[in-house]
Copies of this chain bind each other. A is one copy, B any other.
Amino acid sequence: MHMENTSLQKVVARYIEAFEKEDLGIIEDIYAFDASVEDPVGSDPHHGLAAIKAFYKKAFEMGVKLQLEGQPRCAGNSVAFCFHVLMPGIKISPIDVFELNDAGKIQRMRAYWGPENMG
């Protein structure tokens, strides 16, 4: 399935916006109800919207903001993008990959980062 690249880019923009506004309503809107979030890859994924919202609620409460780096890479039903995770005194630079379902919701999120990508 191929999505319009503009739709994929819009989901990334709304994801950044959710952190900017600390808005769980956006998280609820962009994720499928049965989505999974694996952050970082290799850790136990969060399954389902309730667990996913709890995960982002914690990040919002910690004051995490995201800064996109470069253009998102859209391909098929997926988008990969580089960004910085910013907290006071902390900077992490992951690559996230979103896989979208036919309804345009994020079905699977995987975050690639390790100790080398901090600071």
Interface residues, chain A, CB within 8 Å of chain B? 1-2, 5, 9, 40-43, 70-82, 93-95, 97, 111-117
Contact = CB atoms under 8 A, between A and B. Distances in A.
Given A93-B70, A93-B71, A41 B78 contact: yes
Given A80-B80, A112-B78, A112-B80, A2 B42 contact: yes
B116 A40 contact: no
Work out how many copies of this chain go into the complex.
2
Contact of A75 (B2, B5, B40): B40
A71 to B, nearest CB: 5
A47 B13 CA distance: 34
A42 B77 CA distance: 7
Given A42-B78, A80-B80, A95-B95, A5 B116 contact: yes
A111 B71 contact: no
23 contacts: A1-B42, A5-B114, A5-B115, A40-B75, A40-B76, A41-B75, A41-B76, A42-B75, A42-B76, A43-B76, A73-B95, A73-B112, A73-B114, A73-B117, A74-B112, A74-B114, A74-B116, A75-B111, A80-B80, A80-B95, A80-B97, A81-B95, A82-B82
